[in-house]
Structure 1
Amino acid sequence: MAWLVVVSAACGGCSAAAEDPKLAPVEDVRGSYTLDRETGSITFPVDRFGVTAQEEAVLGSAGSVVLETCARARGVEFLAWESRYVPEYEASTLYGVWTSSLVERFGFVAPMSDADLRANGVMTESPLDVADTGATGQARDWGLIDPSPDAENVLAECRDSAEFQAVDSAQFYRGEAWTVPIADASHAVERSAPYEDLADDLHRCLRDEGLEPDGLSVEGADPSQISAEQIELALRVVHCKDEVDFVHRAVVEVSRAQLPVVERYEDELTAHRAAIDEALDRAQEVLAGSDLG
């Protein structure tokens, strides 16, 4: 199987590896993972067979169109919505804050849309740019217009229909043969000697900076507010993670642990990805014939 490695820098298309030798792909896992410092996304070997955030948006939009058609055919008023792709949700928080571009916007807060910042009660020093939308950035008038018990029953029947099931992304998260082995392999890394050495390197750097480590973060970090003080503190944490190449080294260890599992279940994973592609093809057909297309 061919793998592609991408280690992106804030300069767009240029490679961080070209500027920083520490980020060069490690040979035995070359091409099996991606790190993107601009978006904050991390992709492990098994992730290439799953649904991406952009694909989730397509499937979600198509599913709402199917529900609208089904519900209205049964006399229930329902409005489809566009599931918008929010790039902030590409960012991985698995290793805490790790990219300066996102830290400068969010501090220790998990990256999210302004609408979700408001909905989650995150405190900010500047006004949020939130239009008249719901917490997920959707228009307010969507879904069941009159959510009566009878209408809810009709909608439940529509969700059970073959048409909806064909584009429902939930079918791809029900646990597969590789799910537990991948999780076990990934979690085992956190108990390994290389990872413990990596954590020690990080904690040493943080203490040299005058900070007290708290797991992969530091004391004083507040994931519920965005302020100049929190951003400055988070940038110091990112500095140490860059200094010891923490995230890259951790991702290499997890990728190294996942690859044997991916190889063992390659046929099943390939079939899983093919099923996702089939659902996406159907979703595009649904959207092409709708007002959202």
Structure 2
Amino acid sequence: MLTASSGRGARSAVFAGVVALVLAGCSTNEDSRVAPPTEASTSGLDVSPTLDRESGAIVFPGDRFDVTNAEAVLLAAASGYVVKDCINDHGISFSPPVDAWDPLYDVSSYFGVWTVPVAERFGFVSPMTSADMRANDVMVDGEPVPESSEPPAAWRSNDLGSEEAQAVIAACSSADGAARFDQLALTAGPWQADLDSAFDAARQTQEWDDAVDEYRGCLSDKGIAPDPDDELAVVGQDLYAIDAEQISLALEVVGCKDDVMLVDRLAGLVSAFQAPVIDEYATDLVAYRASVDAVVAEARALLADHGVSL
């Protein structure tokens, strides 16, 4: 199982895991097929996906209202500095580590490797930092990733193990100020389950099957064996190795996805099923995003007061 050495990207990893299960090669029952919604959106909101072929990120309609990964890191940092100030006020020296979000973790893995820049750099390995490659035993040209010569993130504290210190930490961590920036407090509404179910619904369409069949046909034409158990994978791909052979194979896979516009079509289907949810909850979603923006602005201002920029 892939792990993040810094604890980042947990939510994205879980979501990608759910999608991977959906994408696994179980056959679709003919009788269970559904048609994607065709009604025009009535909310005036953007219900199309955004596919960034340079960065490898995919943004679905519902994502535009959610807390982004970078914002989640910023909120966690702000909460840490609220706790820091409280702990310092009790005479305990403590400074929290600050770890900015790395855009590598915004690269979409919903449909496997799908852009040339990512394939050329990582092959089939999920994009990650060198530190996380080491943590996940990724091999580069047959060798483990060497230890970094960079110093660890600067942070310092006195001995926080005493009962007195632990009591202070517990009290400060539960203070209202810290809770203000708790991402879990920004609970999404009843729309979230419906937005997430769009992936499963999209996969039950004839349009999805047609796109995947064309993609797998392209692979076969190139002499590449499609994975019998995963409809978007190929035989021979390695999620833990980066070398010339893996990169070459990944580029061929990306070529087939581009040739049949696979990712555009699949992302479009998912977005089509999210569109009615966006329309139904448009007012609530806009209000929710406004509340997120307000808290993020507060967090950014607090960090700026401490000389921190994320």
Measure the CA separation in 1 of the matches of 2:226 and 2:140: 25
Shift of residue 153, structure 1, vs aligned partner:
4.4
The residue that corresponds to 1:238 in the other structure is 254
CA distance in 2, matches of 1:66, 1:131: 31
**Counterpart for residue 227 of structure 1:** 243
**Closer/same/farther in 2, CA of residues 277 and 69 from structure 1, 3 Å limit:** same
1:146 CA displacement:
3.0
Moved more, 232-241 or 53-62: 53-62
Deviation at 1:78, TM superposition (A): 2.2
User: Map of 1:51-130 to 2, 5 A cutoff?
Assistant: 51-125=67-141, 130=148
Residue aligning to 1:171: 185
Contact 1:32-1:44 within 8 A present in 2 as well: yes
Q: CA deviation at 1:261?
A: 0.4
In 1, Cα distance between the equivalents of 2:243 and 2:162?
45
1:79/1:145 contact within 8 Å kept: no
What does residue 132 of structure 1 align with? Answer: 150
TM-superposed CA distance for 1:203, in Å, is: 1.0
d(CA) in 2 for partners of 1:103, 1:129: 24
Aligned mates of 1:52, 1:223 — CA distance in 2: 25
Q: Are 2:279 and 1:288 aligned?
A: no
Assess, with a 3 A threshold, how the Cα gap between structure 1 residues 290 and 155 changes in structure 2: closer, same or farther.
Answer: same
Q: Which letter does structure 2 place at the counterpart of 1:198?
A: A
1:121, 1:224 within 8 Å by CA — same for their partners in 2?
Answer: yes
**Larger RCO, structure (CA 8 Å, separation 6 or more):** 2
Kept in 2, the 8 Å contact 1:71–1:158? The answer is: yes
Corresponding residue of 2:48? 32
Partner of 1:148: 161
Larger mean CA deviation between 192-201 and 182-191 belongs to 182-191
Which letter maps to 2:148?
V
For 1:82 and 1:202, locate their aligned partners in 2 and report how far apart those are by CA, in whole Å: 43
Amino acid at match of 1:81: P
Check 1:145–1:202 CA distance in 2 against 1; reply closer, same or farther (3 A cut). Answer: farther
Q: 1:60·1:83 contact (CA, 8 Å) conserved in 2?
A: no
Q: For residue 46 of structure 1, report the CA deviation from its aligned partner.
A: 0.5
- How far, CA to CA, are the matches of 2:104 and 2:70 in structure 1? 12
Query: How far is 1:85 from its partner?
Result: 2.5
CA deviations 1:202-258 (Å, max 9, x no partner) are: 111111111121221101111111111111111111111011100001111111110
CA distance in structure 1 between the aligned counterparts of 2:194 and 2:99, rounded to whole angstroms: 32
Q: CA RMSD in A?
A: 2.4
Match of 2:172 in 1: 158
Matches of 2:234 and 2:162, distance apart in 1:
49
Structure 2: stretches of 5+ with no match in the other structure: 1-37
User: What TM-score do the two structures reach when normalised by structure 2?
Assistant: 0.77
The one-letter code sitting in structure 2 at the alignment partner of 1:218 is: V
Change (3 A) 1:131 1:282: farther
Contact 2:47 2:272 in 1 (8 A): no
Deviation at 1:165, TM superposition (A): 1.4
Aligned residue for 1:194, secondary structure, equals helix
Taking structure 1 as the reference length, the TM-score comes to 0.82
In the alignment, is residue 266 of structure 1 matched against residue 282 of structure 2? yes
CA, structure 1 residues 121+177, in 2 after alignment: closer, same or farther (shift >3 Å)?
same
Contact 1:62/1:283 (<8 A) preserved:
yes
Displacement of 1:99: 0.4
Q: 1:201 to 1:149 in 2, by over 3 A?
A: farther
- Local SS of the residue matching 1:218: coil
Structure-2 residue corresponding to 1:257:
273
The residue type paired with residue 185 of structure 2 is Q
Query: Percent of aligned positions with the same letter in both sequences?
Result: 37
Change (3 A) 1:196 1:84: same
Cα distance in 2, alignment partners of residues 201 and 159 from structure 1 = 53
Alignment partner, residue 291 of structure 2: 275
Shift of 1:148: 1.8
The structure-2 alpha-carbon separation of the partners of 1:208 and 1:152, relative to structure 1 and needing over 3 Å to count, comes to: farther
1:199 match:
212
